[in-house]
Structure 1
């Protein structure tokens, strides 16, 4: 399976510009024979945690329908983030279009940052979806630090856990953060972990530095690049993961004493 991780620039409050960036990235992903193209948290709208200046869009908007139709025509699956608004609430959401089944799923961020909680509602379902005939987990930014989410996704059969963020440099370098956490999430849960950070600026001018990293089910980095503003193509081989899942010794989630929890 080939995954295109896109951290091209996301422009705050310019949905049309971000839509054009997404269309170009979808075409490039198709030219490179990718199966899934992935964008970071809040990519379509741009990221903001400022209650006085927030950009949102409805899941039923024409632009989101156009994105899905573009992927349907190109026969490619997609995962992308946007700030969602419905009749009552706002959410930090991720839309998943599965080209294999021609269907969509949506994940709403369940664990919000302190400033985010002043603007958005929490979602109430853990991010477990099926795409291209495999189960994957969706996690956003802060949720990297909630290990129970990854355990739940592993027990539900997820082969890949995505961590999609819009984290400015002021929150710490992605390389430093990911080197502390990604290996544990992958090794402890026998999953491939793919992390992607947004590139650009928040509405207050804070720099989003981009970056992508992939860790194997052994907790070993198989790809990392922190340049930002590019598309990262990663080929995945599930053989090692399947062997680990079938190992009574190394599939740690199955070795838990359920009577203690």
Structure 2
């Protein structure tokens, strides 16, 4: 991994107002580029707005209008963009997808663990890919995915050095920071990865209200960036390469810098995964 500057956006996104949402994304990309950001992440379903009942109506293919717009932004500003999209599927239930766009090339992660309230409206994905670039290898988990430890472990074993965690967590959650710290710190520490989370914020025009928040945790479980001020904002954080590379490249001199996944014994865990 190279040292990298990332940006996380807590963003108000209105359902069905795709052009306005994308225009807002563009402004953040422009600002991020001026400040030397190399990877910018937007919340779950930021492009069309988070909705369940209108999901089928608003769904697009990954290379449709939203994907093409974001791809062009990535190329124009030479920045990696990670942004949420309602993606058409082969059936009536679309995917909750995060596009990962690098130099205009579109990759995607489909939310693999959907909540009970989403089961009637969305199709879960079935793959846990990681995405390598000259900067870093990244994994993506969307909201509910983060509650399942195996997801982070699989992505870290596959080489993920940064896990981005875009959310659509509502205001009913109350203290987003307190809840995130209960499990995102563990995901970072146990798997020796950076974890970077962001959330939708404010009302979406479709009856939902989101609590916002951005948080970055280093591979030892330490908070290195946060914003829970309750307003639309962009958090910029530098991720030094040394904290990952000392774990991954066998450069450690003490147990404190162990990459624990190297000592796994999957043969004795088999009964837990069958």
Give the TM-score normalised by the residue count of structure 1. Answer: 0.93
Q: Which residue of 2 aligns with 1:56?
A: 59
1:44 positional shift: 0.3
Structure-1 residue corresponding to 2:78: 75
Partner of 1:259: 267
**Mapping of residues 44-193 of structure 1, within 5 Å:** 44-50=47-53, 55-86=58-89, 88=91, 89-99=93-103, 102-193=104-195
Contact 1:199 1:209 (8 Å CA) reproduced: yes
1:161-184 Cα deviation digits (max 9, x unpaired): 111101102134211111211211
Q: Secondary structure at the match of 1:164?
A: strand
Mapped to 2, the partners of 1:65 and 1:51 lie a distance apart of 22
Seen in structure 2, the aligned counterparts of structure 1 residues 124 and 70 have a Cα distance that, compared at 3 Å, is: same
The one of 5, 17, 22 aligned to 1:14: 17
Tell me how far apart the structure 1 counterparts of residues 261 and 56 of structure 2 sit (CA, whole Å): 42
Give secondary structure in 2 for the equivalent of 1:205. Answer: coil
Give the deviation of 1:53 after TM superposition.
8.3
Deviation digits for residues 134-186 of structure 1 (CA, Å, limit 9, x no counterpart): 21110000111000000001111110011110110213421111121121111
Deviates more, 1:55-64 or 1:133-142: 55-64
- Name the residue aligned to 1:194: 196
1:229 partnered with 2:228 = no
Contact 2:130 2:159 in 1 (8 A): no
Question: 5+ residue gaps in structure 2?
Answer: 270-274
Instruction: Tell whether the 8 Å contact from 2:13 to 2:49 is kept in structure 1 after alignment.
Output: yes
Q: Which secondary structure does the structure 2 equivalent of 1:167 belong to?
A: coil
**For 1:136 and 1:158, how far apart are their aligned partners in 2?**
5
Q: Are 1:128 and 1:158, in contact at CA under 8 Å, matched by a contact in 2? A: yes
Q: Sort the Cα spacing of 1:155 and 1:11 in 2 relative to 1 into closer, same or farther, 3 A.
A: same
C-alpha contact (below 8 Å) 1:98/1:130 kept by paired residues: no
Where has structure 1 moved over 4 Å in runs of 4 or more? 51-54
Shift of 1:75: 1.0
Superimposed CA distance per residue, residues 35-69 of structure 1 (whole angstroms, 9 cap, x where no aligned partner): 01110110001112336886323323234212211
Q: Is the 8 A contact 2:9 2:233 kept in 1?
A: yes
Aligned residues: 259
